[in-house]
Amino acid sequence: MRNITLYRSGSHKFVLLNESEPGDEDGVRSNQFLVMHDHDAVLLDPGGFGVMPRVLAELLRHTAPDNLRAIMLSHQDPDIVGGISTWLELTQAPVYVSRIWLRFLPHYGIKNMDRFIGVPDVGMICSFGSEFELRLLPAHFLHSEGQMNVYDPVSKILFSGDIGAAMLPDEIDYPFVDDFSKHLPHIDWFHRRYMCGNRAARLWVDMVSQLDVEMIAPQHGPVYRNQSVKDFLNWFRDLECGMDLMTAPGVFRTD
């Protein structure tokens, strides 16, 4: 469990609200994030049903659920969306998710979709006041067909969803990536198997490289900062993954 303020300046902050325990969510740790400006707050990837009470407890250290102006879902997986029905009961916040997943979300027990906003494929800018906006950026096929990232231009933090995700063993735990070469074994297989192909990776890196990014905060694993941001982008841009590695149906190169 973590509650780390990644950025704070004046009335603005970006918080790693919670990292689920290794035993939660079938052993895959997941991160939930909160962005705040004055009293306005946005929750990023609130998590599955099992982590919802802990995420709520950590959120209450910063703000009340009534102050949530939006909930943003990077994609459709249950470790992101599984607890959304309870959040809908606690708040009046609209929920942003890629438009292609709107017809799938009722399978999570959601009966009323009126508060869901379908994000267009090209992304969008969400304003929550004259000085608070977040940019929803397309990250399609990495690994989800409709994945969306969230960029905060004040903190210069990019919430990257499953891009940059790490699968750390239970006995290893660190909040930040400061040595990319040591971190690489924990991300290599996941990205080669879960990302669709190099073309999508290269287009994403080219887009992100035009932004001023000081941290990359994935949904799983430690946060990239300082030189590790550049190291990750350079590695990911040239990565062969997914379809690049297929030699036959069900067969992938491992070199």
What stretch of H or E contains 198?
helix 198-208
Please list, residue by residue across 116-126, b when 16 or more beta carbons sit within 10 angstroms of its beta carbon and e when fewer do.
bbbbeeebeeb
Residue 190 phi, psi (nearest 5): -55, -45
Asked if 45 and 72 touch (Cβ cutoff 8 Å), the reply is: yes
What is the rounded CA–CA span in Å between residue 143 and residue 242? 9
Under the banding of pLDDT at 50, 70 and 90, the label for residue 26 is low
Give bridge partners of residue 235 from the DSSP assignment: none
- pLDDT tens for residues 219-241? 999 999 999 999 999 999 999 99
For 148-205, write each residue's pLDDT tens digit. Answer: 999 999 999 999 999 999 998 888 889 999 999 999 999 999 999 999 999 999 999 9
* Bond before 143 cis per omega within 30 degrees: yes
Mean pLDDT, residues 7-28 taken together: 77
Structure tokens at 80: 């992101």
Full set of structural domains in the chain with CATH: 4-252 (3.60.15.10)
Locate tokens 């942003």: which residue? 96
> The pTM is what?
0.94
* Residue 106 φ/ψ, nearest 5 degrees: -55, -20
The residue written with tokens 């879960």 in the block is: 194
pLDDT digits (tens, 9 = 90+) for 69-113: 999 999 988 888 888 989 999 999 999 999 999 998 888 888 889
